[in-house]
Structure 1
Amino acid sequence: MTGKAFRAALAATVFISAAGVAQAQAAPQAQDAKIADLQRQVDELKAMVRAMQAAHGAAPVVIAQTPATSAPAATTPQPVQMAAVAAPAPVSAPEKKKAWYEKLQLRGYTQLRMNEIISGDKTAPAGRSRLRSVQDSGINENGNLSIRRARLVVQGDISNRVSLYLQGDLSAAVSNQSGSEPRQNFFQRRDAYADVYLDKAKTLKLRLGQSKVPFGWENLQSSSNRVPLDRTDAINSPVPGERDIGVVAYYTPSKIQAIWDELTHDGQKLFGNYGALGVGVYNGQGTNRIERNGSYMTVAMATMPFRLDGLGGMFEGQVAEFGASGILNKFRPEIRSGGVSAVDYDDNHVGAHAMIYPKPFGIQAEWTWGRTPEFDRATGTIKAKDSSGGYVMAMVRVPKTPIGQIIPFARYQTYRGGWKVATNAPRLETEEYEIGVEWLPLKELEVTLNYANVSRTEADERRTGRAKGDLVRAQVQWNY
């Protein structure tokens, strides 16, 4: 009931009461009948007022009057007296606090990929390398279409100081080591961690569980956000799969976070929420692998963005970022005869990265040096050997065109060293030139076209020589 309706009801009560009194004074002989009729009307109106008050939520109105009793004809009936008690201002009910599970969000992305070897060593005789990639098993003689990733993410705040993150992949494969018989499309754990913030400003946090290892800018950047289709062999070799179980501390000063927030608002493709400084310990045997030696992998990474406005000219409004990372680890690779090596091998790496975010022109580069397990052909055993490699990539970002955002790019990569997560840790020798374009016609849809000229060894110590050829690749990614 509205305030206007409430006042109208009160006015009607007074009006009818006054009319009844006037009639009683004008006709004394019918006084008793009139008073009785008046009392009935007042009772009815009082009931109506109470009902409307209950619907409106207002305080009750007290209506007082003299008793309606019979009196001598000469006695003038007393008018009805009404007194309204002011209703207090309505008090808003307190907003119900959301339970932690009501703050969770579900999101993800899926990648449909096409790989076609248009020339070169699609197949090869036994003992010779074929054109293959450790980054995408869909590159083979029968590749065609594949679902490269199908990720589902659940994340949210449990409280002001604790948040959770769970990610699984519906397109993972599991192989029987002894028979090399693949099983496709398992739902596999990729991330399962909690962030615990140690200060109110949320500049310092502990990440607990299975998460990405802070080594290499490209490794930390999500595959949903990367411009090229795959990571490079050199930067990915220290941490294939990018993840492990551990505890890591991240620190991000507010001034640095402000720069990253501006870049995110501008639509730049960042590496994620991994802090300006990260220090942690992990099992060290890789993604979803059993710990084998009881030792820990220690890792540290620092990265710093800088505004280039002071340089003026073409650098006005641009941001550069520089950083370094390092790993100390002992690793036990799987061996061809079955099981896992009983020997610990040095698995130590350092890396550096530098970039200028594209606005519109940008450049990005990383390099790594280290020692890692590698199969030695001369002795037929695995040894710890030197490894090195990296990449340089140039790109142009055109965020607004009649057909959406376009990012043409060109990248060169090279690597020499072992690939520790393959059976017997075979040596890789990679040289690759690629050009491509990422097109975003919609926020929810990305299309990437890519051409690559490739020269690389196959990740199998039983095959020798480099396979060479040309690839045409395409990917459609939808985000949800």
Structure 2
Amino acid sequence: MRRLFAMAIILVMMSLSAVFARDVQGDSLLSNDSEQATPAKGWYEKLRLRGYAQLRYNGLFETNPNLMCDQCDKSWGGDGGGFFFRRIRLVFYGQVHERVYVYIQPDFASGGGNFAQIRDAYFDVALDPKQEFRLRIGQSKVPFGFENMQSSQNRLPLDRHDGMNSAVPNERESGVFFYYAPQEIRKRFSYLVSSGLKGSGDYGMFGFGIYNGQGPNAQDKDRSVHVVSRLTYPFLLPSGQIFETSFQGYTGKYIVQRSSPLDLDQNEFREYRYGPTFVLYPQPFGFQLEYNWGRGPEYNPATDDVVDAPLSGGYALVNYQWKTGDKLFIPFARYHYYKGGKKFELDATRHRVKEFELGVEWQFNPNFELVTMYTISDRTFENSSNPNNRQRGSLLRIQAQVNF
């Protein structure tokens, strides 16, 4: 599969290079002095490389080893532990043509093991010279939720909240997405990331997309695509303060992995979610609030079956940013809640989550940062293999991150 994917990328690149070659040839024919013209760069000369790595330790002051969150961090609780590479990512990106932008991101610490997996592999095709209208084709983040789209390189809490991260496993899907934003707003999105204000990135002022719906690196199983849409706007006040409001929603059908073929009364469920977002960027005080409602599959321990059920959840986060030179000190606190199933877990595992986190991020320089976070958690996660499972406890978590 990986070889086929790599061959597909190579073929796409070869096709792009052929287009660029024709463009360059056409430009030289129009030039009055083609011999003195500066040679155009090949697409391979326009690609750039960056990345980051995260090393964690979750074993300090742990009060309950049975308290865990497999979706969040596979080294949290259980029989494992010790030092753990959460992410090792390289990003190959570049504007290979005035209308084509390429982004490929593999992760070398996926699934709790040190093996490679494609996280993002897409290209943006600009539909106008200003690049205000774009099509994003490939595997990329689904525009649902601010924290879901915010890079793990920038996010303050070590893991995304269950309430909305349970909508799209690993936040990514294969599909086609349309984005629109005026140039001024695109520059504002870029500033919110580059300035250290913890922005979510440029996913348009308006986004609309269709995608498989079964998770990243997975083909569609029911010949029925998911549909998503998001509207957001970052307001700039005369004082320089920026706040952003959003509303998003999606719908589709999902096939649940059941514990046994004998239980296969129904495995396809229609699901939908919708909800708002509010973000006050830390200048120096910040505040984030997201919530969503909907319906989807959920394990019912009373009947030992997967049923259609309501769901809801979200979070509230407060933070403060203090900067001196190239150093940043950002204390934060977050409370998050979720009541519903997780469709991508066995039997659409039933979850009830109440969690409070108190932490600090130290950025010693642009290339190294350290996060310490104390977590107090109350989690219920039940399926057919463990139908009565509520765990409570606390622990101190530490993460070192290198940016390059």
| Structure 2 length-normalised TM | 0.87
User: Would the alpha carbon gap of residues 340 and 111 (structure 1) be closer, same or farther in structure 2, given more than 3 Å must change?
Assistant: farther
Q: Kindly provide the CA deviation profile for residues 210-257 of structure 1, in whole angstroms up to 9, marking residues without a partner as x.
A: 111110111011111111111000010111210111001000122322
Larger proportion of strand: 2
Corresponding position of 1:157: 95
Q: Kindly provide the CA deviation profile for residues 85-123 of structure 1, in whole angstroms up to 9, marking residues without a partner as x.
A: xxxxxx993222100110001111110011026243314
- Aligned partners of 1:446, 1:458: CA distance in 2, in Å? 32
Quote the offset at 1:346 in angstroms.
Answer: 1.6
- SS of residue in 1 equivalent to 2:109: strand
Q: How do residues 264-413 of structure 1 correspond to structure 2 at under 5 angstroms?
A: 264-309=193-238, 316-337=239-260, 343-400=267-324, 404-413=327-336
- SS of residue in 2 equivalent to 1:257: helix
What code does the residue aligned with 2:97 have?
S
- SS of residue in 2 equivalent to 1:255: helix
- Aligned partners of 1:370, 1:292: CA distance in 2, in Å? 22
- SS of residue in 2 equivalent to 1:230: coil
- Asked if the contact 2:283–2:321 (Cα under 8 Å) also holds between the matched residues in 1, the reply is yes
Corresponding position of 1:27: none
User: Would the alpha carbon gap of residues 118 and 460 (structure 1) be closer, same or farther in structure 2, given more than 3 Å must change?
Assistant: farther
Q: Kindly provide the CA deviation profile for residues 282-332 of structure 1, in whole angstroms up to 9, marking residues without a partner as x.
A: 0111112232100010000011111233xxxxxx32111000100111000
What code does the residue aligned with 1:428 have?
H
- Aligned partners of 1:328, 1:196: CA distance in 2, in Å? 25
What code does the residue aligned with 1:198 have?
L
Q: Kindly provide the CA deviation profile for residues 38-82 of structure 1, in whole angstroms up to 9, marking residues without a partner as x.
A: xxxxxxxxxxxxxxxxxxxxxxxxxxxxxxxxxxxxxxxxxxxxx
- SS of residue in 2 equivalent to 1:352: strand
- Aligned partners of 1:292, 1:146: CA distance in 2, in Å? 33
395, 399, 403: which is aligned to 1:475?
399
Q: Kindly provide the CA deviation profile for residues 10-55 of structure 1, in whole angstroms up to 9, marking residues without a partner as x.
A: xxxxxxxxxxxxxxxxxxxxxxxxxxxxxxxxxxxxxxxxxxxxxx
Quote the offset at 1:134 in angstroms.
Answer: 2.4
Corresponding position of 1:170: 108
Corresponding position of 1:419: 342
- Asked if the contact 1:193–1:207 (Cα under 8 Å) also holds between the matched residues in 2, the reply is yes
- Identity level (%): 40
Larger gyration radius, structure 1 or structure 2: 1
Quote the offset at 1:264 in angstroms.
Answer: 4.1
What code does the residue aligned with 2:94 have?
G
Corresponding position of 1:436: 359
129, 132, 136: which is aligned to 1:203?
132
Structure 1: 5+ residue stretches without partners: 1-90, 124-129, 174-182, 310-315
What code does the residue aligned with 2:153 have?
S
Corresponding position of 1:104: 47
Corresponding position of 1:224: 153
Q: Kindly provide the CA deviation profile for residues 134-187 of structure 1, in whole angstroms up to 9, marking residues without a partner as x.
A: 2111101431210001111111122110111111111113xxxxxxxxx83221
Quote the offset at 1:268 in angstroms.
Answer: 1.5
Quote the offset at 1:466 in angstroms.
Answer: 1.9
Quote the offset at 1:265 in angstroms.
Answer: 5.0
The total of aligned residue pairs comes to 368
Quote the offset at 1:333 in angstroms.
Answer: 1.2
What code does the residue aligned with 2:127 have?
L
- Asked if the contact 2:313–2:339 (Cα under 8 Å) also holds between the matched residues in 1, the reply is yes
- Aligned partners of 1:268, 1:339: CA distance in 2, in Å? 51
Q: How do residues 26-65 of structure 1 correspond to structure 2 at under 5 angstroms?
A: none
- Aligned partners of 2:262, 2:101: CA distance in 1, in Å? 38
- Aligned partners of 1:460, 1:263: CA distance in 2, in Å? 41
Corresponding position of 2:75: 138
- Aligned partners of 1:425, 1:369: CA distance in 2, in Å? 17
- SS of residue in 2 equivalent to 1:259: helix
120, 125, 148: which is aligned to 2:63?
120
- SS of residue in 1 equivalent to 2:312: strand
- Asked if the contact 1:369–1:387 (Cα under 8 Å) also holds between the matched residues in 2, the reply is yes
- Aligned partners of 2:263, 2:214: CA distance in 1, in Å? 11
Pair 1:457-2:386 in alignment: no
- Asked if the contact 1:350–1:368 (Cα under 8 Å) also holds between the matched residues in 2, the reply is yes
Once structures 1 and 2 are overlaid, which stretch shifts more, 364-373 or 156-165? 156-165
| Structure 1 length-normalised TM | 0.73
What code does the residue aligned with 2:56 have?
R
Once structures 1 and 2 are overlaid, which stretch shifts more, 266-275 or 415-424? 266-275
RMSD of aligned alpha carbons: 2.0
- Aligned partners of 1:339, 1:224: CA distance in 2, in Å? 43
Corresponding position of 2:15: none
Once structures 1 and 2 are overlaid, which stretch shifts more, 458-467 or 97-106? 458-467
